């Protein structure tokens, strides 16, 4: 057989390889200074507590913990999530990762050519999923002026309508966005929800970092502003451990029902044992206790990174000041190409993610995303010194 005679589906033509995952194929993360990826620090995984909880789950549930289970998720976890976030249990679908939440929302809502609005830049994994369904992605830059921010959206929506196309949803990460680290104000959230009502589209609110706040006060979710129009996606990856691949979707039951039927044919149900472990960890209060430790740890790393950038970065480099989350976004002088610079950096032993990949419109060549959760303070220190030195040489 000549394998090249295989005719793949049209979707495959729009598949886009994650540059982040390609980096992981090239290098061992532990052998370099890695500001790439969005990995939590392994020291936030409470190994002994997890070991004890696993044993308790086996005692409590026996074989049921290893059997097939409900497509919506096991009742114990759905109820723990519902009670934590104050929503009715029939509005909770457990997902096999919040990436799956993004993917399945796109699957049930988007036909090829349909428009998805998002921030510019936006989360790479979401862009991958949107592209894979051949969505027409329109990225809209943030603007600190609320009227100008609204106008940016209104202009794009008017343009979309003029083209005879349909906006299916707006995808946003309102809290400590990936990649920028920035959050939307309450006024901005309200403005976007009112736009969604006015032009009758849905909002997919992706919220994996929300509980990792290091300063300031929590801002209402977009879901709480309009629980029928907003689909809220949550994740255990950053507040517990990503290796469990568990998240949740909160939505109007009629929307959730489509997600549920889709999930039947996607993978039948989320991992069962892992769900019971997460449910026990959540309802026992261990998750919150551990989360407080993670917040303290990450706050220290963020503060360290901010002070190191201040100390070492050459003139002409700017960066965001995230109040939470895992990332900070660097803007280099106009003309700098962070994709081209990447091999230089990797050869020297330091990795980041080029900002261009997060920009649906292909802009952002002079930007890069830095993660501060994964490495130890010592390695963050050494890594930033190295990166700053390389950038100084490249810019001058």
> Which residues within the stretch 120-139 sit at the binding site for a second copy (CB under 8 A)?
125, 128-129, 132
Binding to a second copy by residue 17, rule CB under 8 A? yes
Binding to a second copy by residue 25, rule CB under 8 A? yes
Give the one residue of 272, 328, 345, 380 binding a second copy; rule: CB under 8 A.
272
By CB under 8 A, the residues from 211 to 240 that bind a second copy are 226, 228-229, 237
| 130 within 8 A of 223, measured Cβ to Cβ | no
Give the one residue of 26, 28, 31, 63 binding a second copy; rule: CB under 8 A.
63
Binding to a second copy by residue 241, rule CB under 8 A? yes
Output DSSP code: residue 362.
S
Query: In a 3-state reduction of DSSP, which class is residue 154?
Result: helix
Give the one residue of 217, 265, 292, 343 binding a second copy; rule: CB under 8 A.
265
Min separation Cβ 10 and a second copy, Å: 5
DSSP of 226-278: -TTTEEEEEESTTTT-GGG--EEEE--HHHHHHHHHHHHHHHSS--HHHHHHH
Q: Which stretch binds a second copy (CB under 8 A): 104-112, 204-212, 345-353, 360-368?
A: 104-112
Give the one residue of 34, 96, 207, 338 binding a second copy; rule: CB under 8 A.
96
Min separation Cβ 190 and a second copy, Å: 15
By CB under 8 A, the residues from 30 to 59 that bind a second copy are 37, 39-40, 42-43, 45, 47, 50-51, 54-55, 58
Min separation Cβ 316 and a second copy, Å: 34
Min separation Cβ 6 and a second copy, Å: 6
| 92 within 8 A of 82, measured Cβ to Cβ | yes
Q: Which is nearer to a second copy, 106 or 320 (CB)?
A: 106
> What is the token pair recorded at 107?
């699957």
Binding to a second copy by residue 71, rule CB under 8 A? yes
Q: Which stretch binds a second copy (CB under 8 A): 212-220, 261-269, 301-309, 337-345?
A: 261-269
Give how far the C-alpha of residue 251 lies from the chain's centroid of Cα atoms, to the nearest Å: 18
Binding mask 144-173 for a second copy (x = CB under 8 A): ----------------------x-x-----
Give how far the C-alpha of residue 393 lies from the chain's centroid of Cα atoms, to the nearest Å: 32
Binding mask 175-214 for a second copy (x = CB under 8 A): ----------------------x--x-x------------
Helix pair angle (98-109, 124-132), 10° resolution = 30
Q: Using CB under 8 A, count the residues that bind a second copy.
A: 86
| 58 within 8 A of 65, measured Cβ to Cβ | yes
> What is the token pair recorded at 53?
């909880």
Binding to a second copy by residue 67, rule CB under 8 A? yes
DSSP of 281-301: HHHTTHHHHHHHHHHHHHHHH
Cα angle for residues 226, 227, 228 (degrees, 5° grid): 95
What is the Cα–Cα distance from 289 to 283, expressed in whole angstroms?
11
Cα four-point dihedral sign 274, 230, 266, 37: negative
Give the one residue of 36, 77, 110, 203 binding a second copy; rule: CB under 8 A.
110
């Amino acid at each position: 057989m000549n394998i090249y005679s295989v005719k793949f589906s049209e979707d495959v033509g729009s598949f886009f390889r994650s540059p982040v995952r390609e980096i992981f194929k090239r290098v061992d993360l532990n052998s370099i200074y890695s500001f790439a990826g969005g990995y939590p620090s392994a020291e936030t995984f409470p190994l002994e507590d997890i070991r004890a909880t696993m044993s308790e789950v086996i005692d409590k549930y026996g074989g049921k913990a290893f059997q097939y289970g409900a497509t919506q998720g096991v009742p114990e976890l759905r109820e723990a999530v519902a009670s934590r976030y104050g929503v009715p249990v029939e509005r909770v679908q457990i997902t096999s990762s919040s990436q799956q939440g993004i993917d399945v929302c796109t699957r049930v809502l988007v036909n090829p050519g349909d428009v998805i609005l998002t921030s510019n830049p936006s989360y790479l994994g979401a862009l991958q999923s949107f592209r894979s369904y051949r969505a027409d992605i329109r990225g809209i830059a943030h603007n600190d002026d609320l009227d100008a921010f609204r106008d940016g959206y209104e202009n794009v929506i008017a343009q979309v309508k003029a083209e005879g196309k349909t906006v299916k949803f707006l995808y946003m990460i309102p809290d400590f966005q990936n990649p920028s680290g920035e959050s939307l104000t309450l006024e901005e959230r309200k403005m976007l929800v009112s736009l969604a009502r006015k032009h009758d589209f849905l909002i997919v609110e992706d919220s994996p970092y929300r509980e990792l706040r290091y300063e300031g006060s929590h801002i209402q979710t977009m879901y709480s502003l309009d629980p029928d129009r907003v689909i809220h996606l949550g994740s255990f990856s950053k507040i517990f451990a990503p290796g469990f691949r568990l998240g949740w979707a909160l939505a109007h039951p009629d929307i959730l029902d489509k997600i549920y039927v889709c999930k039947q044919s996607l993978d039948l149900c989320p991992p069962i044992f892992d769900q019971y472990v997460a449910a026990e960890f959540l309802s026992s209060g261990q998750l919150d206790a551990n989360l407080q430790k993670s917040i303290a740890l990450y706050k220290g790393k963020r503060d360290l990174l901010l002070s190191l950038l201040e100390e070492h970065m050459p003139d002409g480099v700017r960066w965001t000041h995230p109040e939470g989350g895992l990332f900070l976004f660097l803007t280099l002088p106009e003309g700098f190409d962070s994709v081209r610079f990447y091999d230089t950096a990797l050869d020297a032993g330091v990795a980041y993610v080029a900002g261009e990949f997060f920009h649906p419109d292909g802009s952002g060549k002079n930007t890069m995303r830095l993660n501060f959760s994964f490495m130890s303070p010592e390695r963050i220190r050494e890594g930033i010194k190295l990166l700053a030195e390389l950038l100084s040489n490249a810019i001058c």
